[in-house]
Amino acid sequence: MPLFAPLRMPFKRRLQTLAVLTWISAIIVSLTLFFFLCTYKYLWPLVIAYLTWVLMFDKAPERGGRRVQWLRNRRLWRHFAEYYPMTLIKEGDLDPSKNYIFGYHPHGIISMGAFCTFGTEGLNFSKRFPGIKPRLMTLQTNFNIPFYRDYILAHGCASVSRQSCEYNLRSGPGNSIVIVVGGAQESLASKPGTLDLTLKKRLGFIKLALVTGASLVPTLAFGENDLYEIFNNNRTSKTYRFQQLVKNTFGFTLPMFNGRGIFQYEYGLLPRRKPVFIVIGKPIHVEKVEGSPTSEQLHELQKQYIDAVLAVWERYKDKYAVGRTQELRIIE
């Protein structure tokens, strides 16, 4: 592959790159705009009013976000999906009279497939699963970033806190949530050609399903880990220990990774153009438990869920993970 992108490139590919750049740069653009506005003293009253509303009064992150459907439907997100390209594989219908917890695997570096599938209509989720209204759950810290918070709220994102999850699942038929189960820890294992999942210790979403009676839907993204190269991180290295410190302090961490640039292919923050296949598996129906679930109930349902994830892998690995360097592993 050449180092630099050709000068003569189909306009459609330029649009695809622009769509991905729009999402990748959203935090930087939001912060830049906020601090730029802060340089004008006559705007300070508006800035103070905005921050007061955000910090003290706005409950949208705990109440399912503020979905703006026309933003989710923008043609921009079709270009986003075509960049890789991404493909949605549906294993079965979902009853719109029920509620669902989609477990998305793996986390990857930035969970591109999760946002495209559940935060936009780039893959026509609403047409493929009519009546299902997913909320992509993310860390509360994302809702402390001025303007960026409003951007992701408009795409249906919400806080991944227990109260927020329960509120969404109890807000009526079809209301569902999406949890990237492996979280920040799993992002540190996002090596191309591999699928190492952090799942053994993850019981919070299992308990949530038992308490609310929501069905679990295993969702496996083949190719998510191939979008970036990640530098090897020995668990005894100082870098790894620093990443763990950041994760334990702030709830997130940032792997050392490399993608591509806008006009060249070797270095940068943009993901590489690698196909991603998002398989939404068949639902695991869960009986609601009155009171607090027992340890036996939690581990029994967790085993059922892990078996379902492994079954999805076995059905599709020879089709969508042909270049894998190892089999799926549940490492933590």
What is the per-residue pLDDT across 58-70, written as a single tens digit (0 to 9) for each?
Answer: 999 999 889 999 9
Say which residue, 302 or 189, is predicted with more confidence.
Answer: 302
**Token output for 164:** 């927020």
In a domain, 69, yes or no: yes
For residue 293, the model assigns a pLDDT of: 94
Kindly report which listed range (78-82, 189-193, 205-209) carries the lowest average pLDDT score.
189-193
What is the overall mean pLDDT for the chain?
92
**Total domain count, the chain:** 1
CA 82 – CA 79 distance, rounded (Å) = 5
In a domain, 111, yes or no: yes
**Token output for 295:** 């340890």
For residue 262, the model assigns a pLDDT of: 83
For residue 251, the model assigns a pLDDT of: 67
In a domain, 38, yes or no: yes
pLDDT class for 100, splitting at 50, 70, 90?
very high
Q: Is the pLDDT of residue 115 over 70?
A: yes
In a domain, 130, yes or no: yes
In a domain, 5, yes or no: no
In a domain, 166, yes or no: yes
In a domain, 240, yes or no: yes
Phi/psi at 83 (5° precision): -55, -40
> In which domain, by residue range, is 229 found?
11-330
Q: Is the pLDDT of residue 71 over 60?
A: yes
For residue 123, the model assigns a pLDDT of: 98
> According to DSSP H, which parts of the chain are helical?
11-24, 26-38, 44-52, 69-72, 75-83, 112-114, 125-128, 148-154, 162-169, 183-187, 204-212, 238-250, 295-320
For residue 1, the model assigns a pLDDT of: 57
In a domain, 66, yes or no: yes
pLDDT class for 9, splitting at 50, 70, 90?
confident
- The helices-and-strands tally (H runs, E runs) of the chain is 13, 11
CA 222 – CA 217 distance, rounded (Å) = 16
Over residues 309-316, the mean pLDDT reads: 98
